């Protein structure tokens, strides 16, 4: 009996010894593995520091001290620099360079505004240089002060001030350019004009954001973007759009003022926005032929407007009584009626149309009514390089409500 107990105790001691040895081996494995990982992490960190130092022009002290990075590895990281463009290219916009269009003899339809659309150069004609600032460039004035004034040296172009002096676009005063807030249609200030549109739509306190319901605006043919500038105080973000035409510097002024804007045109390609991006589109004397090509440009606005969205249109056609204006107004009214838009308000020189909240009106139209609905497989959110289509973008089967 005693011998059996002794054998059992030996077996237990043996098992315990094996377990201790196994745990010790596991500990050694984990220790050396973590050490190698730490060394790798340290080496990786040194590489990143060395890479940063090469671009900043500094030295890697740690690398020099321990000599862990060889000279061969040092030679692998080469700082790249770009030359500064000469003054001839101080205001070049590569994909909107008219000289490039002329030199390449691109066959573009001027009546469709294709020459104002983006045409990017091939790789061998790209400018791999840094655009220099204008002579005497200053740090831009900060918002909100920049809404009303900018440094003249930053945009040394004053021809617009002379050309539009009677419309209060901008005024040169000493070393600054002031923006009184006027426009071609609103000489007495964008703030009063915006309030009048809100009043037309019966928005509370004549504030266009309608207690937060209207937040995004597309301003077509924006000039120096004073309309968008004065919307910001009403918690409305406006994207101001204008082409690189004879007033090519108007977008420069908008951006210098701190107003969201970009060079573009309603031509043959879709605007770079998915469907239902804006609550309101605005056109004030934008000189766009909305009736061309079966109303394709107006249908593009319809695509980017949200359900129940508005189009505010200020133009002689809305009020003038001459024969040509009356004809355009009649044809435009007929077109938007077929698009299921309704007149939300009309006063003096401005009309505001509203698009429907659902597909009901589209489905109730007579067969063959133009413009047609877009194909069911068409993607209304595809934009880059996509051609416009003269069709109505229907809604999904969801229901939309105005709160």
Which tokens go with 114? 């294709």
Per-residue pLDDT of the chain in tens (403 residues, 90 and over written 9): 444 444 556 666 667 676 766 676 666 556 554 444 444 444 434 443 443 333 334 444 444 444 444 455 555 677 778 899 888 777 888 888 888 888 888 889 988 989 889 999 898 888 888 888 888 999 999 999 999 999 999 988 877 777 776 677 888 999 999 998 877 778 778 999 999 999 999 999 999 999 999 999 999 988 888 999 999 999 999 999 988 776 657 888 899 999 999 889 999 999 999 999 999 999 998 889 999 999 999 999 999 999 999 999 998 888 888 899 899 999 999 999 999 999 999 998 899 999 999 999 999 999 999 999 999 999 999 999 999 999 999 998 755 555 4
Superfamily of domain 145-364, CATH level 4 = Vaccinia Virus protein VP39 (3.40.50.150)
User: How many Å apart are CA 398 and CA 403, to the nearest integer?
Assistant: 16
Bridge partners (DSSP) of residue 217 are 238, 280
Q: Domain spans of the chain?
A: 34-79, 87-125, 145-364
* Nearest alpha-carbon partner for 166 in 151, 179, 154, 184: 184
Give me the phi and psi of 148, to 5 degrees please: -105, -15
Give me the phi and psi of 64, to 5 degrees please: -70, -35
Q: Taking phi first (over 0 means left), then psi (-120 to 50 degrees means alpha), and beta for anything else, what does residue 58 get?
A: beta
Whether residue 241 contacts residue 220, with contact meaning beta carbons closer than 8 Å, is answered with: yes
Q: Please tell me the pTM assigned to this model.
A: 0.77
User: How many Å apart are CA 43 and CA 82, to the nearest integer?
Assistant: 30
**Beta strands across the sheet bearing 176-178:** 149-151, 176-178, 171-173
């Amino acid at each position: 009996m005693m011998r059996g107990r002794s054998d059992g105790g030996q077996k237990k001691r043996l098992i315990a010894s094996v377990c201790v040895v196994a745990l010790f081996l596991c500990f050694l494995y984990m220790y050396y593995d973590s050490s190698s990982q730490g060394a790798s992490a340290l080496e990786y960190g040194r590489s990143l520091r060395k890479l940063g130092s090469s671009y900043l022009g500094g030295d890697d002290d740690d690398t020099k001290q321990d000599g862990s990075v060889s000279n061969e590895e040092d030679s692998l990281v080469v700082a790249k620099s770009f030359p500064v463009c000469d003054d001839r290219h101080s205001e070049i916009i590569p994909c909107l360079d008219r000289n490039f269009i002329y030199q390449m003899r691109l066959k573009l339809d001027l009546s469709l505004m294709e020459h104002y659309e983006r045409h990017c150069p091939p790789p061998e004609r790209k400018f791999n240089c840094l655009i220099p600032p204008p002579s005497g460039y200053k740090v831009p004035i900060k918002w909100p002060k920049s809404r009303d004034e900018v440094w003249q040296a930053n945009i040394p172009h004053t021809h617009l001030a002379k050309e539009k002096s009677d419309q209060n676009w901008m005024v040169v005063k000493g070393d600054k350019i002031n923006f009184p807030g006027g426009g071609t249609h609103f000489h007495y200030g964008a703030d009063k004009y915006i309030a009048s549109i809100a009043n037309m739509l019966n928005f509370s306190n004549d504030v266009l954001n309608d207690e937060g319901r209207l937040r995004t605006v597309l301003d077509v043919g924006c000039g120096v973007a004073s309309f968008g500038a004065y919307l910001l105080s009403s918690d409305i973000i406006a994207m101001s759009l204008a082409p690189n035409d004879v007033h090519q510097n108007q977008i420069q002024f908008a951006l210098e003022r701190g107003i969201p804007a970009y060079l573009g045109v309603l031509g043959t390609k879709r605007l770079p926005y998915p469907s239902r991006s804006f609550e309101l589109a605005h056109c004030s004397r934008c000189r766009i032929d909305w009736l061309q090509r079966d109303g394709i440009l107006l249908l593009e606005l319809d695509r980017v407007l949200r359900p129940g969205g508005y189009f505010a249109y200020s133009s002689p056609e809305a009020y003038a009584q001459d024969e040509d204006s009356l004809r355009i107004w009649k044809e435009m009214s007929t077109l938007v009626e077929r698009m299921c838009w309704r007149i939300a308000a009309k006063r003096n020189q401005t009309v505001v149309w509203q698009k429907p909240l659902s597909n009901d009106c589209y489905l109730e139209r007579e067969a063959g009514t133009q413009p047609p609905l877009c194909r069911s497989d068409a993607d209304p959110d595809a934009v880059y390089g996509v051609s416009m289509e003269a069709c109505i973008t229907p809604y999904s089967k969801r229901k939309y409500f105005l709160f």
